[in-house]
Amino acid sequence: MSEIETFDDEGFEDLFDGLSLDGWHPVPRVYGTVYPGGPDVAEIFAELGIEPPVEPEKHPAVWRVEDGHIVGEQETPGYGGYLVSDQTFGDFELVVEARPDWPADTGIMLRRRPDTWEGFQVLLDHRESGGIGGFFGNGLASFSAVPFAVVSVKDEHGTPIGLAADDPATSAEPVTPEKIARLSYAAGVQDFLRVWRWGQWNELRIRCVGPLPTITTWVNGLKIAELDTATLDSPNYDPRAVLDTLGPRGHIAFEVHDNDALFGEARWGTGAQCRWRNIRIKDLTTASNA
């Protein structure tokens, strides 16, 4: 069993005052190119016979503060959005507490562009066959680098009451050996299940260091995954083009996903919410350049 790590929490600054959304701004969930210089996502939808979202820019998600935490949810059913930091960040360590409903496909974007959807995403896919603590490349060739996936455990009435390991043989979105191999570190699902607190607040810690960053995640002190985006090998992923697109700094953003043709309401349930609190960041730029 992997050990729970302890951390030095000196030098962190609050990114959320617990009272308002000062320092943050909402943006709708709109798509762009699949990868830098590649086709538009709408073209891929058309090839697959999938209806794209209709005027998503007119249907942003709703973000508000309740009882000292941020709440995000769909306002128009089926349409998602982001809550984006006003500031940009280079190398940093970010600590947040999250409490998503089930199902609620959310996540934290890093190095996000201010006006397009590109960026690295730390997954918090709290849904069937969802990955938690792994990574996805929004507008960066849609790479998936995840250590495991989870499903719900249900009681006799069919109500979800906890998490279990997903079975790749029956999964709606199986974790393949290729997805795991993209990681330089991958936790075991049973270790994750020992630390995850169903229906409670869970701490996510993210360390992001380097122009093409190495990104490391922890959940409740357990190291979950590590990804070197400079050496990542995935179809259509070009590190040089990614660096040219993102640069060495970018915004942080929280996500409310939309409902797509693959998962529908299994991705974001009717009335589902994601919640965030105790959002803190430590600038590591000086230390990483020393």
Q: Domains, the chain, ranges and CATH?
A: 13-289 (2.60.120.560)
- Tokens coding 138: 């929004």
pLDDT mean over 27-45: 93
> Would you say residue 198 has pLDDT above 80?
yes
CA angle 195–112–186, rounded 5-degree value: 30
Question: Is the pTM here over 0.85, yes or no?
Answer: yes
pLDDT at position 47 is 87
Show Cβ contacts of residue 55 under 8 Å, excluding neighbours closer than 6 positions. Answer: none
Query: How do residues 79-128 score in pLDDT, each as one tens digit?
Result: 999 999 999 999 999 999 999 999 999 999 999 999 899 999 999 999 99
Closest CA to 273 of 117, 84, 71, 126: 71
pLDDT in tens, 255-286: 999 998 778 899 999 999 999 999 999 999 86
In sign, the C-alpha dihedral spanning 218, 93, 85, 214 is: negative
**How much is the pLDDT for 286?**
67
CB 7 within 8 A of CB 207: no
Three-state secondary structure call for residue 25: strand
> pLDDT at residue 287 above 60?
no
